[in-house]
């Protein structure tokens, strides 16, 4: 499996896991594509065979099922899997919180120690975009935004194809 294919599969799977579109997660003109950093982190933290199984499983789902059926297949084939499920849930956390949590194996009931992936990733956690807020110490929003009502942002496409992981109380 080539690196480009890995990235495509990782972004495709992440789109289903996070509810953000693939183009939001990996904009074609992004000067600092965080998806590349996240995939690199995944590969550095998780056994190569398990990463390959995760991405290959998604690739098969994407090839065999129409897009509206893929979330259910990801639920049953990946999230319900005792090996791939915890990894996939950790990928969701990584996208939303920019942190890789070490305790990804087994049943996750809380948050184990983790590491911020990078300063670039820190500014791009999906949690902030979803709630139209910003991480501590970094904001692009204009002075005085806190006194104004939130502005709908078309690029924040949360929920359009969101997959909700009910097994974890909707942490994503």
Partner 1 sequence: MPLSRRTLGAVVLAGLICAGGCTTPQPRTNTNAPPAANAASGATPIPTPPPGTLSPSIPHDASFPDNPQTVAAIQHDFDVFSWQSFVALNWPALPDGSADPNKTIGADGDNGVVWDSYKEPYEVFLPDGSTPAPWGQQQLPEQCRNLGPSTGKVLEMIQKVSDDVLDVSGQPFNTGPLVDQQNGRYARYEIRINRDTFDYIVSNTLYNKEGQQAFTQLVQFPTGVNPSSQNTSPAPVGSVIIKAAWKVIDPAQGDRPERFHKVQAYVYTRASDNPPTPPSCELKTMGLVGFHIAHKTASAPQWVWSTFEQVDNVQVGHDAPPGTKANFFDPDSKYPVNTPPPRPWNPNVILPPEQRSQVKRLIPIDDATNALNAQWQAWLRGVNKDSVWQYYELISTQWPTNPKASPTGPKPTGDPAPPFLANSTLETYIQGTTPNVSSSCIMCHNNATTTNAKFSDFTYLLERAHKKGGGR
Contact residues for partner 1, defined by CB under 8 A: 27, 29-32, 119-120, 122-123, 128-129, 132-134, 137-144, 148, 151, 153, 155-156
Per the listing, tokens 């990463």 go with 51
| Rounded least distance, CB 14 to partner 1, Å | 18
Residue number, 18 or 57, with CB nearest to partner 1 = 18
**23, 47, 49, 82, 116 from 55: Cα distances, Å:** 18, 13, 10, 15, 23
Nearest Cα neighbor of 90 from 17, 2, 149 is: 17
Residue number, 5 or 155, with CB nearest to partner 1 = 155
Residue number, 129 or 165, with CB nearest to partner 1 = 129
| Rounded least distance, CB 170 to partner 1, Å | 22
DSSP state of 82: T
Nearest Cα neighbor of 25 from 7, 37, 13, 11 is: 11
| Rounded least distance, CB 148 to partner 1, Å | 8
| Rounded least distance, CB 24 to partner 1, Å | 10
CA 44 to chain centre: 16
């Amino acid at each position: 499996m080539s690196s480009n294919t890995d990235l495509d599969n990782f972004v495709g799977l992440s789109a289903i896991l996070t509810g953000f579109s693939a183009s939001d997660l990996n904009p074609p003109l992004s000067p600092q594509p965080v998806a590349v950093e996240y995939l690199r982190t995944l590969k550095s933290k998780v056994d190569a065979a398990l990463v390959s199984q995760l991405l290959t499983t998604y690739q098969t789902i994407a090839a065999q099922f129409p897009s509206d059926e893929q979330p259910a297949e990801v639920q049953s084939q990946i999230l319900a899997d005792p090996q791939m499920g915890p990894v996939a849930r950790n990928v969701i956390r990584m996208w939303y919180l920019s942190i890789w949590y070490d305790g990804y194996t087994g049943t996750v009931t809380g948050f184990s120690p983790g590491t911020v992936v990078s300063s670039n990733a820190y500014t791009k956690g999906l949690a902030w975009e979803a709630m139209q807020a910003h991480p501590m110490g970094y904001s692009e929003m204009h002075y005085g935004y806190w006194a104004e009502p939130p502005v709908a942002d078309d690029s924040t496409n949360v929920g359009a194809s969101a997959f909700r992981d009910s097994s974890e109380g909707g942490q994503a």
